[in-house]
Structure 1
Amino acid sequence: FHSAGKVYDVGQTFLDRFGMDTYSFFRRSNLYYPFASHDDWQVANYLLQSGLSMAKIDEYLKLNLIRTLPLSFQTAKGLRGCAELLPPGPRWNYRIVPTSHPTKNPVILYYRDALDCIESLFNHPYYAPHMDYTPFRLFTTAERIVREYTEWMSAEVAWWMQSKLPEGATLCGVILSSDKTHITNMCGGKAAHPLLISLANIRMAVRNKASSHAFLLLALMPISQFLHPNKRMCSVLDARLFHQCLDIVVEPLKTAARIGRMMSDPRTRATTLAQLARITCDPDDVERYFTQCECFRLSGVAEPFFRDWPLSDPANFFSPEALHHWYGEFWDHDVQWCKNALGSQELDFRYSVLQPIVGLRHFKDGITTLKQVTGRAKRDVQRYIVPVIAGAMPTGAVIAIRALMDFRYLAQAHVLTSSTRDKIKDALAKFHEHKSTITDEGLRRGAKSGAALDHWQIPKLELMQSVAPSVSQIGVPVQWSADTTEHAHVEVIKDPAASTNHHNFDSQICRYLDRIERCRAFETATRLSSALRNGPDNGQDIPDSEVDLAAGDVDDPSAEDEDSEEHPTALLNDIWAPKRPVPNFFSIAQTLLTAVPGSIPHPIRTFTSGPTAFRLNYDPSIKRIAIDQAAEMFNIPDLCPAIADYLGREGPYAQNFHSFGGQRRAHADVHLPFSEIQVWYKVRLQQKLHHDRTSVGPVFTINAHPANHAWEYGRRDAAILHIDGRHEWPSSGLTGHAIVEICLIMRPLSPRGCKITWDERFLVYARRFDVAPQQRSQVDPATGLHVLKRATRASGALLGDVFPLDQIRSYAHLVPRFGRAADPRLTSSNSSHFSQSFWLNSYFDKEFYYAIS
């Protein structure tokens, strides 16, 4: 949008405002005033953000060693007094809200100026490089045929709103999130109702990280008890009070949107307000008013907060929400249908015998007895539901549940195209096409009565119809998920409440957050000021070993060396970025390639190949073992001839690309140029995100353990192996790739006193799975999954070969085909060994799903 986001003049930066504080004069000589020094401030900052009570802080300050320190405070009260002298953030206010009906206690609203909160986010230096200031449109090609949707600014609503603003104006999208949360299970089950605010201009990759603190507590909405005899009317009065308080809190935002602008009402808002205008009953007569509202399916709120907010449209600002709507629907309904079809015992058993995935939850006791099921637990259950129920539920029911899984996974993508949006719509349509099987089989039942239901009045399911249309209007739905705000409740409600005296929670929470925000802002300002005064230190040590690199002790080498202007950015990342970021094997591998020769050991244990990064432990699990002994330990009878065939295909330069050969050429007693190998029990893999090739995905571990007391037949994970150089993962999907079971990870050892080219290449012994065609298709029509069978040679032996480790492209998860009833002899440690037919589970990871869908 060319005429938007005009820069008019130089404004007040974050540090400019820091310098305008009442006590800024004293900071000319002492940057850390009211604290004596940087060390003094570090101790104070730690104590203020530690969550310790005042009594515990006093105990700490009375320790003999601490009393010898030159601190500017001696008591907790003195420490908090110093904190009050730090530059403030948006100030807290309170107001007693009048109500039309009596309540048990006065209604007190604690809130901050919404514009001040938005301005503090807009002005913060950490968010500056991660913000969009103008609406934009993305296309997949230069011909502009297929549209891409990502951030809110990439969608139509932002573009339309910008067109209604004066030329040069900057559009700020306000995000409001509100949900009741329990302060603690103690103290009579006290609850709070926080209202959080953020800025849609901040890109979701930063905004939705809890460590970014991009959601501020705007208000604590009052939780009242109306003295009305009709409980249903109490709910109506609660809804009215919420809108009344929200009207007070967002009034500055309405004023900012209204001044100097000619606005027109969107249609849906006008429809709602027109319906309210047709109700002639006095709103104070709650019961009669609500009766008339029910005709229009309205909640009974007479004055909704958006009634006079320019350009506001409930159809646009009430966004889809994954955590409560999609995951909630899955747990409340999909899982119950599966439970009713299979029975709790069978469903739990199938989950319990799945081979565990390192880093993901394993349900060793099943899923039907889970308590306090979190959003993460619901996501983990979803990973396996389709292959688990296959064969035991009616085909139509499996298709319906799989269609909803496709809907959720497609809708969670961080980039959606117009064609993907149509796939989301088609997935929901497929569910509706096959949902009758669920009711016909009596699988949909009442939660309390247990009686079969023949209707589909499920609000969360109805809300799914708005997802596909919302993509083009407000961007990808995943950015609006409540995961971030639910986590923020811990930071802005539960942690502050834990430091109170358990009385008058609201006021004490406000004071606590005020101190914390002062500390964060002061830490940011002092570190930036110190860096600008003293100049950055550009020295960078070369890591002594690869162990340092693997531990994340080096900077990202893909970035250029930071000069004096960029150094403050590094400081901001140090303060505001996640303290435990996902390890980046790609950057580590790049650093190792550019390291000074001789400074790190070879062969390098962290390296990349195509779209995949690999990480092996520095020390092998077995430092030296004879090949014949390894063959016996890992139960690989043809290991020696497989290595010989590999060497025959490899060539003199150890750079050839390998695929599965046909007949075994080498004999069992073939002579090899080496007799010993090193062995690793696992390798970790990482890939770039499917929709963002600049960001790394999660780390997955491929195990290749020999038999032991826990795994009687060994632990072997599956993987995707690249076997055709004309195709590349993930763009080609499974084309040009094979699904294999990794049985051994090894490195040949040159004979003593001899150096051979291929001894620096890591190898794997892998056994292939064949994809069984399904009714003129590569996938099963009910589950949409590939059916796999173990490949064998003409002799009946399992088909296995040796490959370079770097031909692996991805972890893969296989689920046994249980059929009508699972074999009761199966366990999580032997299910993959005894099963001969498997499902390739595309739902275990969203990135894998996008690659093969």
Structure 2
Amino acid sequence: MHTGNWWWEMQEVFEKHHPNATIVPIITSSDKTQVTLFRNKTAYPVYMTIGNLPKFIRQKPTRYAQILIAYLPTTKLTHIKVKASRRRVLANLFHTCMSFVLDPLIPAGDKGMRLVSGDGAVHHGFPLHAIFVGDYPEQLLVTGRKNGECPVGDVKRDELGDFNMQCIPWDIVPIRHALASIDKGYDAFYKACSSVGIKPIQNIFWRHHPYTNIHMCITPDVLHQLFQGVIKHVFSWLKLVFGHDEIDARCRRFPPNHKIRLFLNGITHLSRITGTEYAQLCQLILGIIIDMRLPNGLSSDRLIRSVRAILDFLYLAQYPVHSDKTLDSLEDALCRFHNNKDIFIDLNIREHFNIPKLHYCQHFRMFIEHIGTTDNCSTEYTERLHIDMAKDAYAATNRKDEYPQMTLWLERKEKVVHHDRYIQRRLTSKNIPSTFELNTMRHPPVLVPHRELLMSKHPSVNRVLFGTLIDDYGAKDFEYCLGEYIAKAQAPEQVFTTTTLRIATRSVLTFVPFHAVAVYHCIKFTEHDPYSITKGPESIVDAIQAEPGRKDKYGQPIPGRFDTALINVDGGVTSGVKG
């Protein structure tokens, strides 16, 4: 998070009055979750972490970088029959509870507090509320905006789909003045809040937080804004354009590939699709529609361009490292989508694109430059924390007066974990590497990590004749290519001086004293986590399968599988085969 502009701007502000101050960015997140399959029982946890921790630590629940600070009330107040009054009371209830929880940050952020690090050094720390992580309803609730509006800027509802409309973030100063007018009476308070476009919330929790602009704390969220938002809309539009039957039929004809899920029963019937399933669908959708014909003889060029542009935006937005070039590509992808989106209007699928989550894509670059990459503020970690902090905790209770039991259960669990960590640290204290060793073992973060080949120790088939390679494997030019390889290996210094014709002649004249070779049916590619402190275990990121058809033990035919591979012969980095 320290790579963003916000941290450096705050550091410059504090250096004027508090030299050598330590900024502590507070990251809060909240999301209501269901803890039972029946009776609709819900919990409303609030989590907190700090931006001083590296993101590869904050992303792992087992590192306990995120802590539970509160359970908010989940009452729906159904006894209030007027819906407008009920929504107003629920908003005031949320902000009153959040004020009770987060008010200790106000004096600490204004005057600072003593913080002792692990090496015993004492720092003058200033905890500042920097990021709020939540889905779109949570963002509106926190900022006090109305449904259908942008929680960041002052664009109107009917202008959200206009890509050329500039959305300037709200100025927090007039908003604070409007919230301070509550002492003048409700009518004056209501008019003041309406003039700045927020709801008349009496005890909004961020009002007195120093150096906090809540509209600049509403950060991008890949899970809810892209997967569960924009991508979900695009899938629904494509279903209406091409029909369910054709899309499902094309899904069944997809060839298998490594780490690509095949939806053999189709995708149109899926309900309650998770973010992981949307990510798997995004790997297939462009291949499904690439040559589909549109009704009424319309050209599909604009449709293909718009779908590809939004997929480019999705993958670029998830980069763990960004540069000016990648951010320019991010903006270009969004621009290409807006230039071609009118195809959905021509097909009578949409009448407008005033969708808040689609509009928020215009703010991605600003927030990436402001607080760092999107993996600093993803709700995926919040959803994962629900399992440990809410669902498992509720399952350990007797379902009566559950919150005291849940907090006690979590407190005991944390003590057990802390004691176990202490024991493990004492047992392995002699093997802890020094700071110098940690710095030398750590890999710099890169967009394309280094990959290594990994093959099995023994071949899949020990002896395959050249004729079998031609008939079963389809390797028609194998003997010629083997001769060419031997010719180049015998005189590598002549490769760049010898013409292609001479190399071909030498390969034909090369004598191969054998007629069979060993065959490997799988090649794997591994890489190490570039963000880990030590060189941990390898992870398989890709694989190439090449296996002819065969019959199983029941005599049923199993079709062959030959994956397509692009081989970079001259420009790639060479490495030995491992295994």
Same-fold call, TM > 0.5?
A: yes
Q: What does the per-residue CA deviation read over 1:351-388, in whole Å, with 9 as the maximum and x for residues that have no partner?
A: 22222222332211221111221111111111222232
Structure with the greater alpha carbon radius of gyration: 1
Deviations 1:523-579 (A, max 9, x none): 1123323455xxx3x6xxxxxxxxxxxxxxxxxxxxxxx56x67999xxxxxxxxxx
Q: Distance in 2 between matches of 1:668 and 1:343?
A: 54
Give yes or no for contact 1:341–1:443 (8 Å, CA) kept in 2.
Answer: yes
Asked if 1:234 corresponds to 2:86, the answer is: yes
Q: Please, which runs of 5 or more residues in structure 2 have no aligned partner? A: 114-125, 130-168, 295-299, 444-448
Give the secondary-structure state (helix, strand or coil) at the position aligned to 1:503.
coil
2:226 is the counterpart of 1:326: yes
Distance 1:637 1:435, change over 3 A: closer
Partner residue, 1:273: 176
Does the alignment pair 1:218 with 2:58? Answer: no
Q: What is the 5 A alignment of 1:76-87?
A: none
SS at structure 1 position matched to 2:259: coil
Alignment partner of 1:172 out of 18, 24, 27:
24
* Residue ranges of structure 1 left out of the alignment (5+ in a row): 1-151, 445-453, 539-561, 570-583, 585-609, 730-803, 809-853
CA RMSD of aligned residues (A): 3.9
CA distance in 2, matches of 1:300, 1:350: 52
Match of 2:564 in 1: 718
| 2:456 aligns with one of 617, 620, 623 | 617
Matching of residue 245 in structure 1 with residue 97 in structure 2: yes
Question: Is residue 431 from structure 1 mapped to residue 337 from structure 2 by the alignment?
Answer: yes
Q: What is the alpha-carbon distance in structure 2 between the residues aligned to residue 660 and residue 467 of structure 1?
A: 52
1:161 aligns with 2:21: no
Percent identity reads 25
Q: What pairs with 1:376-775 in structure 2 (closer than 5 Å)?
A: 376-392=276-292, 394-444=300-350, 454-532=351-429, 536=430, 611-651=450-490, 665=505, 672-687=512-527, 698-709=540-551, 714-724=560-570, 727-728=571-572
Partner SS for 1:219: strand
Compared CA separation, residues 422 and 279, structure 1 to 2 (3 A): farther
Q: Aligned pairs, how many?
A: 501
Match of 1:359 in 2: 259
Q: Distance in 1 between matches of 2:301 and 2:492?
A: 53
Using the alignment, how far apart are the partners of 2:69 and 2:533 within structure 1? 35
Are residues 292 and 231 of structure 1, via their aligned partners in 2, closer, same or farther at CA, if it must alter by over 3 Å? farther
Q: Mark the CA change 1:290 to 1:713 in structure 2 (over 3 Å): closer, same or farther.
A: farther
Residue aligned with 2:523, SS:
strand
Residue equivalent to 2:274: 374
Query: CA contact under 8 A between 2:103 and 2:205: conserved in structure 1?
Result: no
Which gives a bigger RCO, structure 1 or 2 (Cα 8 Å, sep 6+)?
2
Structure 1 residues 650 and 328, CA, compared in 2 at 3 Å: closer, same or farther? same
Q: Which amino acid aligns with 2:415?
A: R
Residues 1:646 and 1:275: Cα distance change in structure 2 (over 3 Å): same
Q: How far did residue 211 of structure 1 move?
A: 2.5
Secondary structure at the aligned position of 1:683 is classed as strand
Q: What secondary structure sits across from 2:104 in the alignment? A: helix
Tell me the amino acid that sits aligned with residue 398 of structure 1.
Answer: I
Deviation at 1:716, TM superposition (A): 0.8
Separation in structure 1 between the aligned mates of residue 479 and residue 391 of structure 2, nearest angstrom = 61
Residues in 2 aligned to 1:486 and 1:264: alpha-carbon distance in whole angstroms: 24
Q: Which amino acid aligns with 2:566?
A: I
Q: 2:216 aligns with which of 312, 316, 319?
A: 316
The residue number in structure 1 matching 2:249 is 349
Residue identity in the other structure for 1:257: G
Deviations 1:275-297 (A, max 9, x none): 445689955x9xx9879856644
Partner residue of 1:112? none
TM-score by length of 2: 0.77
In structure 1, what is the equivalent of residue 36 of structure 2? Answer: 184
Q: Relative to 1, partners in 2 of residues 1:400 and 1:300: Cα closer, same or farther, differing over 3 Å?
A: farther
Indicate if the aligned counterparts of 1:316 and 1:474 stay in contact, CA closer than 8 A.
Answer: no
Equivalent position of 2:56 in the other structure = 205
Deviation at 1:443, TM superposition (A): 2.1
- Distance in 1 of aligned mates of 2:183 and 2:320: 46
Greater shift, 386-395 or 707-716, is seen at: 707-716
Amino acid at match of 1:728: G
The one-letter amino acid paired with 1:351 is C
Change (3 A) 1:712 1:649: farther
Q: Retained in 2: the 8 A contact 1:624–1:678?
A: yes
Shift in Å, 1:170: 0.9
Distance change (3 Å), C-alpha of 1:430 and 1:280: farther
Separation (CA, whole Å) in 2 of partners of 1:528 and 1:687: 28
Q: In the aligned structure 2, how far is the partner of 1:665 from the partner of 1:368?
A: 56
**Which secondary structure state, in structure 1, belongs to the residue aligned with residue 566 of structure 2?**
strand
**Per the alignment, in what secondary structure is the counterpart of residue 225 of structure 1?**
coil
Is the CA contact 2:480–2:507 (under 8 Å) kept in the aligned structure 1? yes
The alpha carbon displacement at 1:712 in A equals 5.8
Please give the alpha-carbon distance, in whole angstroms, between the structure 2 residues aligned to 1:687 and 1:642: 30
Partners of 2:349 and 2:64 lie apart in 1 by 44
Alpha-carbon deviation of 1:222? 1.1
Q: What TM-score, normalized to structure 1?
A: 0.53
